[in-house]
Amino acid sequence: MASPTRGPASLIPLPCKPRIFILTDITNEPDDAESFCRYLTYANQFRTEGVVAVTSTWLRNEVAPEKLHEIVDAYEKVVDNLNAHVHPDSPYPSPQAIRGVIKSGPPVYGMTAVGDNIPLSEGGDHLLARLMSGDPDPLWVLVWGGVNVLAQALHKIRHRADAAALRAKLRVYTISDQDDCGAWIRQQWPDIFYICSVHGWNQYANATWTGISAAVDDGGPDPSRVTKEWVKENVQLGPLGAAYPDFEYIIEGDTPTFLYLVQNGLGVPEEPSFGSWGGRYLPVNVSEQGVPRRGHFADTSDTVVGMDGRKYSSNKATVWRWRNAFQDDFAARIQWTLTPDFDKVNHHPVVSVNGDVGIRPITVEADAGSTITMDASASYDPDGHVLSFKWFQYREPSATQIYHGPEVCELAIKEVSEDGSKVELTIPPAEKSCAMIGKTTLLERGLVLHLILEVTDDGTPALTSYRRILIQPVNGNVKEGVAENQAGWSHGHSTGIP
């Protein structure tokens, strides 16, 4: 349908803004500067509470906060343009606000900065202050280098009576381990929510996050949007684009940390197993079932049909499956930096499913064997572009076993409108949707099924918005109270969805 209005008011405000604290070994190689440039084009989605220049195994004896300030100087030249392309209730932060949270970590390597008689660095002190601020929302620590600033803060509070409560506020997503503090933190405090690929030291080619731009799964991901030519034509434009350096190894290896949090209707940050632009991860320690899971989340795989038509199963596929969408998204935001004219650039479709407008997941209970309707025909494009609709089942997030194929039943998806905006979903009968490997009786509630809706416009570059529908199959023939045979929310997931 057509947009009810035009201009920024036709967009939707963000329901929340996650708290973000970045640790970056900027100047180690160009990718940190690249990621920070991109981060600033998404900064209206976040509360940026810290950006700390740190060391790593590649940058052991110096930190470079001045480079962060240079990029913010470029951001200052375009922030007014950026604000013309987002809902007025979700504006970009001022350059002054970003400058005010840029700090320095200790200019030494790893655990050398951690000890009883070692004072906190400026960055460590700032992180501790934000952690102890009293804000009830989680603090996401996004690590693009070493993690000794976080180690300093955790060591400082270790004997406090409220130390466990403070750690419970942390959400860490680190781009592998780049110093000797990460493994130490996970060993000392296994309760911390900590996303990190695990592999041999320095074997980064094995990590999930390389799916953003590396030449992985040859024939699977589209390489056309991660070339120097594409970057020059689509990103290195205008003042902020001029601050975006040429890449040396891969483009923006650190960017998955915040792509994971981008509010586009796809990801659920409290649930790494659900998958998002920043990849998909599973808990390493599953000893505590039936409670909200914390601790270390590590690599898992998705099976994805590549651009050559073949299937690929890898941890990198959990990121590269979305590559064209997130690269086009960044290219569009660079266009926003160039003009305040709303009509000259493209904006994201607004998705409505069964009258629910927004980005939050939709939860549905459905009887096994029943048919339900999902109607996205009220979705609209703020620029009046034509929308295309793609509905698909994301099978991997439902699985509790390694072989998700026989475990996760298949939704029957039937388009019932000419443009694909409306579908009928048939839930398999209880024998399939409420059964579980290893159980001899049918369950009252089967594994939750994930349906993804992609809505893409035909603007330039094309932009995609999503909705995730979580479908709980219910077996009405099972009496209530059969706790030992229940699956669904309690067995497979703790959604964390408000």
How does pLDDT run across 186-207, given as a tens digit for each residue?
999 999 999 999 999 989 999 9
Question: 315 and 458, same structural domain?
Answer: no
Question: 142 and 81, same structural domain?
Answer: yes
- Where is pLDDT greater, at 371 or 248? 371
Give me the phi and psi of 408, to 5 degrees please. -95, 120
Which amino acid belongs to residue 5?
A: T
- Where is pLDDT greater, at 162 or 488? 162
Question: 256 and 290, same structural domain?
Answer: yes
Angle at 141 between CA 139 and CA 142, to 5 degrees: 140
- For residue 480, pLDDT beyond 80: no
pLDDT digits (tens, 9 = 90+) for 23-34: 999 999 999 999
* Average pLDDT of the segment spanning 211-227: 93
Report how far residue 313's alpha carbon sits from residue 301's, in angstroms, rounded to the nearest whole number.
6
Question: 109 and 234, same structural domain?
Answer: yes
DSSP letter for 342, please.
G
Report how far residue 42's alpha carbon sits from residue 308's, in angstroms, rounded to the nearest whole number.
32
> 470 with 361: CB under 8 angstroms?
yes
Name residues whose C-beta falls within 8 Å of residue 481's C-beta, 6 or more positions apart in sequence: none
Q: Does the residue 328 lie in any domain?
A: no
From residue 121, how far is each of 108, 118, 488 by CA, in Å? 11, 9, 46
Q: Does the residue 198 lie in any domain?
A: yes
Backbone φ/ψ region at 110: left (φ over 0), alpha (ψ -120 to 50), beta: left
Q: Does the residue 271 lie in any domain?
A: no
What does the pLDDT read at residue 177? 96
Question: 176 and 61, same structural domain?
Answer: yes
Beta bridge partners of 194: 172, 296
* Average pLDDT of the segment spanning 125-138: 97
First to last CA, the chain: 29
Question: 254 and 110, same structural domain?
Answer: yes
Range of the domain at 219: 8-263+279-320
Q: Does the residue 332 lie in any domain?
A: no
- CB neighbourhood size of 426 (10 A): 15
Query: Tokens 């933190």 sit at which residue?
Result: 185
The radius of gyration of the chain from alpha carbons, rounded to an integer in Å, stands at 23
Name residues whose C-beta falls within 8 Å of residue 186's C-beta, 6 or more positions apart in sequence: 192, 194, 196, 296
pLDDT digits (tens, 9 = 90+) for 294-307: 799 999 999 999 99
Question: 410 and 456, same structural domain?
Answer: yes
If you average pLDDT over every residue of the chain, what do you get?
92
Q: Specify the CATH number for the domain of residue 256.
A: 3.90.245.10
Query: Tokens 């493209």 sit at which residue?
Result: 346
Query: What pLDDT band is residue 492 in, cutting at 50, 70 and 90?
Result: very low
Question: 427 and 286, same structural domain?
Answer: no
> 305 with 395: CB under 8 angstroms?
no
Burial class (CB in 10 A: 0-12, 13-18, 19+), 166: middle
DSSP conformation letters of 125-183 = HHHHHHHTS---S-EEEEESS--HHHHHHHHHTTTSTTHHHHHTTEEEEESS--SSHHH
pLDDT digits (tens, 9 = 90+) for 150-163: 999 999 999 999 99
> 390 with 495: CB under 8 angstroms?
no
> What is the reported pTM?
0.93
- For residue 468, pLDDT beyond 90: yes
Question: 37 and 120, same structural domain?
Answer: yes
Q: Does the residue 477 lie in any domain?
A: yes
The number of residues in the chain equals 498
Question: 350 and 316, same structural domain?
Answer: no
DSSP letter for 333, please.
H
Number of domains in the chain: 2
SS3 427: coil
Q: Does the residue 246 lie in any domain?
A: yes
Task: Give the percent of the chain with pLDDT over 70.
Answer: 93
Burial annotation 43-66 (CB, 10 A radius, 16+ → b, else e): bbbbbbbbbbbbbbbebbeebbbe
Question: 302 and 355, same structural domain?
Answer: no
Of 127, 157, 129, the residue nearest 143 (C-alpha): 127
SS3 214: coil
Query: What pLDDT band is residue 293 in, cutting at 50, 70 and 90?
Result: low
Q: Specify the CATH number for the domain of residue 397.
A: 2.60.40.10
Q: Does the residue 428 lie in any domain?
A: yes
Beta bridge partners of 84: none
Q: Which two tokens stand for residue 48?
A: 């940026």
Burial class (CB in 10 A: 0-12, 13-18, 19+), 329: buried
* Average pLDDT of the segment spanning 245-253: 91
Question: 127 and 27, same structural domain?
Answer: yes
Q: Does the residue 254 lie in any domain?
A: yes
